[in-house]
Amino acid sequence: MTANLPPQYDPQATEAKWQKYWEDNQTFKADPEKGGEPYCVVIPPPNVTGSLHMGHAFEETLIDVLVRYHRMTGRNTLWLPGTDHASIAVQTILEKQLKAEGKTRHDLGREKFLERAWEWKAESGNTITNQLRSLGVSVDWSRERFTMDEGLSAAVLEAFVRLYDEGLIYRGNYLVNWCPASQSAVSDLEVDQQEVDGHLWHFRYPLTDGSGYLEVATTRPETMLGDTGVAVNPEDDRYKHLIGKTVTLPIANREIPIIADEFVDPTFGTGCVKVTPAHDPNDFEMGKRHNLPFINIMNKDGTLNENAGDFQGQDRFVARKNVVKRLETDGVLVKIEDYKHTVPYSERGKVPVEPLISTQWFVKIDPLSQRALEALDKSNSPVFVPDRWTKVYRDWLVKLKDWCISRQLWWGHQIPAWYAVSETQGEITDTTPFIVAKNEAEAKEKATAKFGQDVKLARDPDVLDTWFSSGLWPFSTLGWPDETKDLEFYYPTTTLVTGFDIIFFWVARMTMMAGHFTEKMPFDTVYIHGLVLDENGQKMSKSKNNGIDPLLLIGKYGTDALRYTLVKEVVGAGQNIRMEYDRKTDESKSVEASRNFTNKLWNAARFVMMNLEGQTPQQLGSPHPPQPPLTEGGREEGLELCDRWILSRYYQVVQQSCNCLENYGLGEAAKGLYEFIWGDFCDWYIELVKSRLQQDAEQNSKKVAQQTFAFVLEGILKLLHPFMPHITEEIWHTLTQTGDDQCLALQAYPEANASLIDSDLEQQFELLFGTIRTIRNLRADSDIKPSVKVTAILQSENEKERQIISDGGVYIQDLAKVENLTVTASLDTDLGQTIAGVVGTVQVLIPLAGVVDLAALRAKLEKKLSKVEAEIKHTAARLTNQKFVDKATPDVVQGARDALAEAQKQAEILRDRLKVF
């Protein structure tokens, strides 16, 4: 029975079928025992709270293309999936649920709260991974990890204790980003810089000796209650004489010094800067440099504390208004200016973060960053693609400050520190002594030895920053700190694919942690991709509500169509791409074009298989190498001219695809395949060999056509598989009639056969195709019916061109419906009525006598020209009417201008055609 495909391609059924097959059969399960050259990628772990967005779809598709390609080249491949526990995000979800029930987490207590968190994880935490499955990602699901699973928790514990014992983790009182909504420290990555329309308030601070005042300006007037100095630039002649004097702080009536610091920009504002060391990171550094007092005026919930005097208990924004009123009443408010500036917002809490001095746990960065810098400077490890990100990464490592790793949350890795609260009246204070240990029993043993049998311990309630555990991801997921076979074989990983926006926060964390704990960089290469922008070229974000749902597009067009669109749009590594999208209809022309490509491939494959007489590529055998002409009519025994051409084009594309994928040119590879499959194979080769597949065709020619057809189609499926895995798997199984024990995903990627690449032949076919297109266009211009065969005269003084045309004459006759073809160096002057065109230096002429009714054609063209000229007259009149130009919208006016230009172009073409007749 002849195997063939259904008439219509059903992406939903096909994609679901193969996703299930790959997972059920553990197709992508890695095995270090098999040896070979490893290729390992760890997935950038999405938040367990997340759902698939276009950024995920883009990133995972890029990774999957690379992983599938390297697997097919024979490398021992592992793509390891997993998710991040997302401390703040999960806790926010749970606290919202509790709030709806009229409760807080403190009503439940820590133990019950964490039970509820794990229940949520079991019920809802797999949403993102199930959605990743719909992308067809070729991950090893048997190795799926979670940053709070048993193994990774052990790795986090080991890393913390080891760093602490080495003196690289400490507890101290420093300035951090504080989110009053979640009442936790947050990392820089969890801060969203938003531009807002605010104000700049100018105040006068009177000199204590009564000789005048200094004017300062601020966007946060409430913080002046915590000012402990005013700074000027030491080279600013306006204020040099005041350095060392003092001013009296309004409201607080506190005497504070005027200091000199090079940080101050004398050209900004008045050149005087209020210094609030406890509430601004720059002021914090100045405060340390000049030994200024640190006065905290804020509680952790965003209200002002006892150091704010009369404003104690007020919310920070209420206090802002009241402080301004008091300053105005006291006569020291100079002016209020409108001021657009950037305010850091907590991503999770949705409120402005507050720089706040707080006792937290920190990692000493310098020893870690120095090791990463050494690897970069001495070994260029890791390699960044594109290279421009190397400097960005290096600069960041140089500028890094100590890392605050504690968070005031319950969901996460609880810090393994136990406080001897019996030493501080039963409470944890900033001075309570503590023990760091891997478990409570070990802590108890150490504490007893230090403080006696009656010591009472309380564990630190804080959890670690999620970036601490994800910083261990490349090696903890492979079994570290145990010496596993996975760790031995697959580490360091090969490629990290990630966005530029987390080079600083995640990539640098991983290189520093890996350098310290494994003495190796965690990956060879970091491939930095751009962003998927919306239809207007804007970054997608929740605040703008301009996201595009990949699942919606998958449902409408299929996974392969979305994947191919995302990759094909990439021009050069690291570039942003724009997604075409109509929000009214939820349609995308670019994804639709890729869906059309899948249909084109499907229909071409059906045609091929219908003409193989039930034989597989293996049964047919490979096409023969070229043989010299042996038979009459110039046909070759073995490969014919068009067979040699398609094989040359095929191997050119194999070579191009391999080069591009090896060098992260994924978009270029996708475009090259599209052009070859749609243009060379479907539009040209299929047409060129149709006549050789007929029942009455010469049998040897027919067999070679079938061999070439089957061979190139199977090669196309292998080349395209990393980009469009589902449709290629389906067609391949039908084409090869392979059972369920094999799949395309594990076949060898094609290798280029340089001996069959013939650039001269490809150029010759460009001339043949140009000639065919020209004849087809001339036929269309002359309204020659498709069924009518014509005479064509091809004239060229170039002997090589004439030879090419003669050799390919049979193709010109077949595809351009030419009955009589003449190739000549010179033209007969008496050709009668003809229509002519040019391709290269070849003149193409078609005699019209007896082929078309010239009088009827002329009348038709004149009628069409008359209609176009009337349109030109009408449109030109509108555009010369000043009322229309003034009242119509710019789009309407421009539309009229475009229509006029198009009509004028059409009229010119019609007049040229009439000259012929």
Question: What is the tens place of the pLDDT at every residue in 81-92?
Answer: 999 999 988 998
Side-chain half-sphere exposure of 200, counting CA atoms within 13 A: 13
Q: Which two tokens stand for residue 246?
A: 């003092």
pLDDT higher than 90, residue 574: no
Please say if the pLDDT value at position 857 is more than 80: no
CA distance readout (Å), 476 to 63, 159, 503, 764: 20, 10, 20, 57
Residues 716-754 pLDDT 10s:
999 999 999 999 999 999 999 998 889 999 999 999 999
Residue 591 burial (10 A CB sphere; 0-12, 13-18, 19+): buried
Indicate the range of 222-226, 499-503, 894-898 predicted with least confidence: 499-503
Q: Are the C-beta atoms of 279 and 356 separated by less than 8 Å?
A: yes
pLDDT at residue 636, rounded to an integer: 43
Amino acid at 171: R
Please report which confidence band the pLDDT of residue 628 belongs to, taking 50, 70 and 90 as the band edges. very low
Q: Are 637 and 661 in contact (CB under 8 A)?
A: no
* Measured distance between the N- and C-terminal CA atoms of the chain, rounded to whole angstroms: 56
Segment 561-568 shows an average pLDDT of 97
For residue 889, pLDDT over 90 is answered with no
E strand or H helix at 368: helix 365-379
Query: Does the structure show a pLDDT above 70 at 531?
Result: yes
pLDDT in tens, 246-268: 999 999 999 999 999 999 999 88
Looking at residue 635, its pLDDT comes to 41
Whether the upstream peptide bond of residue 481 has omega within 30° of 0, thus cis, is: yes
pLDDT value at residue 573:
72
Residue 822 has pLDDT above 60, yes or no: yes
The Cα 437–Cα 460 span in angstroms is 12
pLDDT tens-digit readout, 748-801: 999 999 999 999 999 999 999 999 999 998 888 888 888 899 999 999 988 999
> Tokens 């003034």 label which residue?
886
Cα dihedral 714→715→717→718 (10° resolution): 120
Residue 331 burial by Cβ neighbours in a 10 Å radius (0-12, 13-18, 19+): exposed
* Residues in Cβ contact with 354 at an 8 Å cutoff, skipping those fewer than 6 apart: 177, 178, 179, 180, 279, 298, 302, 316
Give me the helix-helix angle, 759-781 and 809-816, nearest 10°. Answer: 30
* Rounded (10°) CA dihedral 668, 673, 675, 681: 160
Q: pLDDT for 437-449, tens place per residue?
A: 999 999 999 999 9
Question: Who's near 745: CB < 8 A, 6+ residues apart?
Answer: 22, 27, 28, 68, 71, 72, 138, 721, 725, 729
Which amino acid is residue 757, in one-letter code?
I
The pLDDT assigned to 1 comes to: 43
pLDDT of residue 183: 85
Report the relative pairing of strands 463-464 and 403-404 from DSSP bridges. Answer: unpaired
The pair of structure tokens assigned to 642 is 């068009």
pLDDT surpassing 70 at residue 631: no
Q: Indicate the Cα dihedral angle 793, 795, 800, 803, nearest 10°.
A: 20
Residue with tokens 């194979």, as numbered in its chain = 681
Q: What is the mean pLDDT of residues 28-54?
A: 95
Confidence of residue 837 (pLDDT cuts 50, 70, 90): confident
Structure-token pair, residue 531 = 């962003």
SS (H, E, C) 727-738: HHHHHHHHHHCC
16/623: higher pLDDT: 16
